[in-house]
């Protein structure tokens, strides 16, 4: 049977993984002459590495590992060169070798190293188990969050050096430089057409660690996400500011994506998204969509927002408002007649207004309140709850429509009655979180205990 049959290729690719680490090749005929290179990937049958010098095909060599991830012991394996070609991107040579060492211990060592550091295998296992997040931490086994609970995916912990090798194997040189400079890094990772992740790399007590958040491969509709009609209404507005708030992992990015896709499918518009990183990829329908990633396509949200206003946008999407400069630029864009959709971390709508105003110094808060009152059109606060009727999550939503009454409360800094205004504002499309939770309970999606655990008394607040 031909060795290149689809089934064999599938098995081979499944057992091959990107592991970037230094190796040395020693020719059998010239044992004192070493060729140094960087391994690009490895399998139980061989590896590919990048080297400055070419090695002839069919040359018998000994592959010398100094400290392969998962083993950390110097080892040697006999092999033969099966590929030698110049890499146009780097100007170096891609050298492929096939292991010929019959030693079973050597092959077991390779297999163990693969299993120990197989990040792609972990991500696919995470998908199979329906996990939302994967945590890689030093001296801990890989842990996934499945329906809200943490579960280890493997028994053995990852050492600091092994974890560094896994994570750095996913990074190109530019991202490595960013991580070294900032000690933090966010990027998107596509493992397959239907398996996408948002990755956060960070330092912990001097060790590099990472968290992977799974992203749905396609943008879902409002109905599929169980989102209220208010989001469609807000997406149809010609201008103004729409804020989507909630705690981390509340579904804000997914909800914004549904709004963008609705505009894309129903309006002739220019949509500019500013994201860190880009998670969903849109296919233009009736709209033109320009997706710009912070750190790659532009330096910051504030700079990108200023430039976006020169790009003839109808809709601007701000991935996350984190500071005064971004809030200032967001308000500028909304005031200039664009529809601005922005996510913003806050517990509820009242807290979001307070936090937005408190970005600014006390002497500027009155100005901020006036501007926010004039351009805000609506706000949605989200929480994701695990379903009890079937696996998955469902959103509970608080909806604020910026009526003249609400605008006056923001303008004058008197938010004491805002929560009761939301409770009694159903004729304006408003909805309190309590009402949303009760509706979900009555529909059998969540339990009474879950409703009680998510109800918090509203304190009297003012600006």
What 3 state SS string does the chain have? Answer: CCCCCHHHHHHHHHCCEEEEEEEEEEECCCCCCEEEEEEEEECCCEEEEEECCCCCCCCEEEEEECCCCCCCCCEEEEEEEEEEEECCCCCCEEEEEEECCCCHHHHHHHHHHHHHHCHHHHHHHHHHCCEEEEEECCCECCEEEECCEEEECCCCCECHHHHHHHHHCCCCHHHHHHHHHHCEEEEEEEEECCEEEEEEEEEECCEEEEEEEEECCCCCCCCCCCCCHHHHHHHCCCCEEEEEEECCCCCHHHHHHHHHHHHHHHCCCEEEEEECCCCCCCCCCCCEEEEEEECCCECCHHHHHHHHCCCCCCEEEECCCCCHHHHHHHHHHHHCCCEEEEEEECCCHHHHHHHHHHCCCHHHHHHHHHHHHHHEEEEEEEEEEECCCCCCEEEEEEEEECCHHHHHHHHHCECCCHHHHHHCCHHHCCECHHHHHHHHHHCCCCCHHHHHHCCCCCCCCEC
Which positions ≥6 away from 128 have C-beta within 8 Å?
none
pLDDT band at 1 (very low <50, low <70, confident <90, very high): very low
- Mutual angle of helices 301-308 and 324-335, in 10-degree steps: 10
Domain 229-453 classification at class level: alpha beta
pLDDT band at 218 (very low <50, low <70, confident <90, very high): confident
The pLDDT, as a whole number, for residue 50 is: 84
pTM of the prediction?
A: 0.73
pLDDT at 277 over 90: no
Average pLDDT, the chain: 87
Tokens 């005031």 belong to 335
Q: What is the pLDDT of residues 420-443, one digit of tens each?
A: 999 999 999 999 999 999 999 999
Strand order in the sheet with 195-204: 149-152, 143-146, 131-136, 207-215, 195-204, 184-192
The mean pLDDT value for 249-263 works out to: 95
Q: How far apart are CA 197 and CA 134, in angstroms?
A: 10
Q: State what percent of residues in the chain have pLDDT above 70.
A: 90
Q: How far apart are CA 131 and CA 268, in angstroms?
A: 37
Tokens 């996990």 belong to 131
The pLDDT, as a whole number, for residue 13 is: 38
Q: Between the ranges 31-45, 95-109, 170-184, 364-378, where is the mean pLDDT highest?
A: 364-378
pLDDT at 403 over 90: yes
Domain ranges for the chain, please list them.
6-116, 118-215, 229-453
pLDDT at 62 over 80: yes
Q: How far apart are CA 192 and CA 123, in angstroms?
A: 10
Same fold, 6-116 and 118-215: no
Q: Between 14 and 212, where is the model more confident? A: 212
Domain 118-215 classification at class level: alpha beta
Q: What does the chain come to in residues? A: 463
Classify domain 6-116 by CATH architecture.
Beta Barrel (2.40)
pLDDT band at 268 (very low <50, low <70, confident <90, very high): very high
């Amino acid at each position: 049977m031909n060795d290149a049959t689809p089934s064999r290729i599938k098995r081979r690719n499944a057992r091959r993984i990107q592991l970037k680490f230094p190796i040395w090749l020693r020719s059998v005929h010239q044992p004192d002459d070493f060729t140094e290179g960087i391994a690009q990937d490895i399998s139980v049958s061989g590896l590919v590495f990048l080297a400055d010098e070419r090695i002839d095909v069919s040359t018998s060599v000994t592959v010398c590992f100094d400290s392969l991830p998962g083993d950390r012991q110097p080892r040697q394996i006999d092999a033969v060169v099966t590929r030698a070609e110049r890499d146009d991107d780097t100007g170096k040579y891609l050298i492929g070798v096939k292991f010929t060492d019959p030693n079973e211990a050597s092959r077991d060592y390779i297999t163990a190293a693969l299993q120990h550091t197989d990040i792609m295998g972990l991500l696919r296992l995470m998908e199979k188990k329906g996990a939302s997040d994967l945590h890689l931490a030093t001296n801990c086994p890989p842990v996934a969050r499945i329906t809200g609970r943490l579960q280890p995916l493997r028994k053995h912990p990852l050492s600091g050096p092994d974890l560094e090798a896994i994570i750095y194997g996913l990074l190109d040189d530019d991202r490595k430089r960013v991580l070294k400079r900032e000690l933090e890094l966010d990027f998107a990772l596509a493992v397959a057409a239907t398996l996408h992740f948002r990755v956060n790399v960070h330092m912990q007590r001097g060790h590099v660690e990472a968290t992977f958040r799974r992203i749905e491969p396609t943008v879902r509709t409002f109905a599929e996400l169980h989102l209220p009609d208010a989001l469609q209404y807000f997406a149809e507005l010609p201008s103004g500011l729409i804020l989507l708030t909630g705690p981390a992992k509340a579904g804000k990015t997914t909800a914004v994506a549904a709004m963008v896709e609705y505009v894309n499918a129903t309006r002739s518009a220019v949509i500019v998204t500013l994201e860190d990183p880009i998670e969903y990829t849109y296919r233009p329908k009736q709209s033109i969509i320009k997706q710009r990633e912070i750190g790659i396509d532009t330096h910051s949200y504030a700079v990108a927002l200023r430039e976006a206003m020169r790009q003839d946008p109808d809709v601007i999407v701000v991935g996350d408002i984190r500071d005064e400069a971004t809030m200032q630029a967001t308000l500028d864009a909304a005031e200039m007649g664009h529809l601005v959709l922005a996510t913003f971390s806050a517990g509820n709508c009242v807290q979001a207004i307070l936090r937005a105003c408190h970005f600014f110094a006390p002497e500027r808060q009155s100005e901020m309140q006036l501007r926010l009152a004039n351009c805000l059109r609506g706000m949605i606060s989200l929480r994701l709850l695990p379903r009890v009727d079937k696996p998955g999550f469902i959103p509970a939503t608080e909806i604020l429509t910026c009526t003249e009454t609400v605008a006056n409360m923001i303008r004058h800094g008197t938010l004491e009655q805002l929560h009761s205004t939301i409770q009694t504002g159903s004729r304006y499309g408003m909805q309190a979180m309590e009402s949303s939770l009760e509706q979900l309970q009555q529909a059998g999606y969540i339990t009474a205990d879950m409703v009680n655990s998510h109800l918090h008394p509203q304190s009297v607040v003012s600006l």
